[in-house]
Amino acid sequence: MTAITLTPQQLESFQAELDQIRDDVRKDLGERDARHIRRMVRIARGSAIAGRSLLMFGFTPISWVLGVAALSTAKILENMEVGHNVMHGQYDWMNDPKLDGQTYDWDNVADAEQWRHSHNVMHHTYTNILGKDKDVGYGLLRVDEQQRWKPKHLIQPVSNVGLSLLFQYGVGVHDIDWGKALKGQMTRAEYKRQFGPFLKKIGRQWGKDYVLFPALALWNAPRVFAGNLAANLIRNVWSNVVIFCGHFPEGSQVFTEEQTRNETRGQWYLRQMQGSCNFEGSRLLHIMSGHLSHQIEHHLFPDLPAHRYPEIAPKVQAICEKYGLRYNTGSFLGQYFSVLKANFRLALPSRPAGGKLQPA
Amino acid sequence: MQSTVSKRSSNHWLKSEWLAPLNDTAAIDDLLSLVNPAWSLSEIRARVVGVVDETADTRSFILEPNRRWPGFVAGQYVPVFVEVNGRREQRCYSLSSAPGAERLRITVKRQAQGRVSNALHDQIKRGDVLTLGAPEGDFTLPLDAQPKTLFLGAGSGVTPLMAQLQQLHAAGYVGAVRFIQICRSSEDAIFRDELNALAAAWPALTLEYHYTATAGRLTPEALMEQLPDYADYQTMLCGPAGFTADIQAAWNAHGIGHQLKSEAFSLELPPPVGDGIEAEVRCSRTEQLFTAKSGRPLLAEAETAGLSPRHGCRIGICHSCKCIKRSGSVQNLLTGEISDAPNEAIQLCVSAARSDLVLDL
Distance from CA of A213 to the nearest CA of B (A): 10
B-chain residue closest to A301, CA distance: B317
How far is it, in rounded angstroms, from Cα B144 to Cα A238?
Answer: 69
Beta-sheet strands, E only, within B241-320: 260-265, 278-283, 289-293
- Cβ within 8 Å, pair B335-A22: yes
Measured between CB atoms, which of A45, A95, A125 is closest to B315?
A125
- C-alpha neighbours within 13 Å on the C-beta side of residue B166: 21
Distance from CA of B14 to the nearest CA of A (A): 15
Measured between CB atoms, which of B30, B320, B345 is closest to A116?
B320
- Cβ within 8 Å, pair A29-B337: no
Complete edge-to-edge strand list for the sheet that includes strand B260-265: B205-211, B176-183, B148-154, B234-240, B260-265
User: Could you give the 3-state DSSP secondary structure of residue A205?
Assistant: helix
How far is it, in rounded angstroms, from Cα A259 to Cα A129?
Answer: 9
To probe the interface with B, which of A95, A123, A301 has the most B CB atoms within 10 Å? A95
B-chain residue closest to A298, CA distance: B317
Q: What are phi and psi of B209, to 5 degrees?
A: -125, 145
Q: What is the 3-state secondary structure (H, E, C) of A231-272?
A: HHHHHHHHHHHHHHHHHCCCCCCCECHHHHCCCCHHHHHHHH
Residues of A in contact with B116 (CB under 8 A): none
Angle at A268 between CA A263 and CA A272, to 5 degrees: 150
- Cβ within 8 Å, pair B18-A207: yes
Q: Chain A contact for B85, CB < 8 A?
A: yes
User: Could you give the 3-state DSSP secondary structure of residue B157?
Assistant: helix
Q: Average pLDDT of chain A? A: 94
Parallel, antiparallel or unpaired: strands B58-65 and B338-339: unpaired
Parallel, antiparallel or unpaired: strands B338-339 and B330-332: antiparallel
Residues of B in contact with A19 (CB under 8 A): 334-335
- Please name the amino acid found at residue B115: R
**pTM recorded for the entire structure:** 0.92
How far is it, in rounded angstroms, from Cα A252 to Cα A249?
Answer: 6
Q: How many residues does chain B have?
A: 361
Q: Tell which residue, B270, B315, B269, B310, has the closest CA to residue B286.
A: B310
Q: Would you say B321 and B348 are in contact if contact means Cβ atoms under 8 Å apart?
A: yes
Q: Chain B contact for A263, CB < 8 A?
A: no
Distance from CA of A125 to the nearest CA of B (A): 6
- C-alpha neighbours within 13 Å on the C-beta side of residue B121: 19
Measured between CB atoms, which of A19, A31, A121 is closest to B320?
A121
pLDDT in the model for residue B14: 78
Q: Chain A contact for B313, CB < 8 A?
A: yes
**Cβ pairs A/B, distance under 8 A:** 89
To probe the interface with A, which of B30, B80, B115, B318 has the most A CB atoms within 10 Å? B318
Handedness of CA A45, A49, A50, A54 (dihedral sign): positive
Residues in Cβ contact with A156 at an 8 Å cutoff, skipping those fewer than 6 apart: A140, A141, A142, A343, A346, A347
Q: Is the per-residue pLDDT at A2 higher than 80?
A: no
Q: Would you say B150 and B230 are in contact if contact means Cβ atoms under 8 Å apart?
A: yes
Segment A143-169 mean pLDDT: 95
How far is it, in rounded angstroms, from Cα A127 to Cα B69?
Answer: 49
Residues of B in contact with A268 (CB under 8 A): 315
- Cβ within 8 Å, pair A89-B319: yes
Distance from CA of A62 to the nearest CA of B (A): 25
Residues in Cβ contact with A264 at an 8 Å cutoff, skipping those fewer than 6 apart: A11, A15
Return the C-alpha torsion angle A272, A275, A279, A285, nearest 10.
-60
Distance from CA of A38 to the nearest CA of B (A): 10
Is cis: bond before A214, omega within 30 of 0?
no
Please count the other Cβ atoms lying within 10 Å of the Cβ belonging to residue B35.
8
Segment A314-330 mean pLDDT: 97
Q: What are the Cα distances from residue B232, in Å, to A196, B158, B177, B227, B257? A: 65, 21, 11, 10, 12
Residues in Cβ contact with B49 at an 8 Å cutoff, skipping those fewer than 6 apart: B62, B63, B64, B103, B126
How far is it, in rounded angstroms, from Cα A117 to Cα B235?
Answer: 55
Q: Chain A contact for B17, CB < 8 A?
A: yes
Q: What are the Cα distances from residue B136, in Å, to A359, B71, B73, B140, B265? A: 59, 11, 9, 11, 14
Residues of A in contact with B313 (CB under 8 A): 120-121, 124-125
Given its phi and psi angles, is residue A268 left (phi above 0), alpha (psi -120 to 50 degrees) or beta? alpha
Q: Chain A contact for B312, CB < 8 A?
A: yes
Q: What are the Cα distances from residue A12, in Å, to A15, A16, A264, A270? A: 5, 6, 9, 11
% pLDDT > 90, chain A: 90
DSSP-derived secondary structure for A107-153: SSSS-HHHHIIIIIIIIHHSTTBTTT-TTTGGGT---STTSPP-GGG
DSSP-derived secondary structure for B202-239: -TTEEEEEEEHHHH----HHHHHHH-TTGGGSEEEEEE
pLDDT in the model for residue A341: 96
How far is it, in rounded angstroms, from Cα B315 to Cα A124?
Answer: 11
Interfacial A residues in 131-190 facing B (CB < 8 Å): none
Q: How many residues does chain A have?
A: 360
pLDDT in the model for residue B275: 67
B-chain residue closest to A127, CA distance: B313
B-chain residue closest to A103, CA distance: B320
Parallel, antiparallel or unpaired: strands B205-211 and B176-183: parallel
Element (H, E) at A49: helix A31-57
Parallel, antiparallel or unpaired: strands B289-293 and B278-283: antiparallel
A-chain residue closest to B86, CA distance: A31
Measured between CB atoms, which of A26, A92, A207 is closest to B345?
A92
pLDDT in the model for residue B226: 92
Choice between B3 and A213, residue whose per-residue pLDDT is larger: A213
- Cβ within 8 Å, pair A23-B88: no
Over chain B (361 residues), the average pLDDT of each successive run of 10 is: 43 81 90 92 95 96 96 96 93 94 95 91 96 96 88 96 96 93 96 96 95 95 94 95 94 95 75 74 94 94 94 94 94 92 93 94 92
- C-alpha neighbours within 13 Å on the C-beta side of residue A271: 23
DSSP B348: G
Beta-sheet strands, E only, within chain A: none
How far is it, in rounded angstroms, from Cα A161 to Cα A140?
Answer: 11
Handedness of CA B10, B15, B18, B20 (dihedral sign): positive
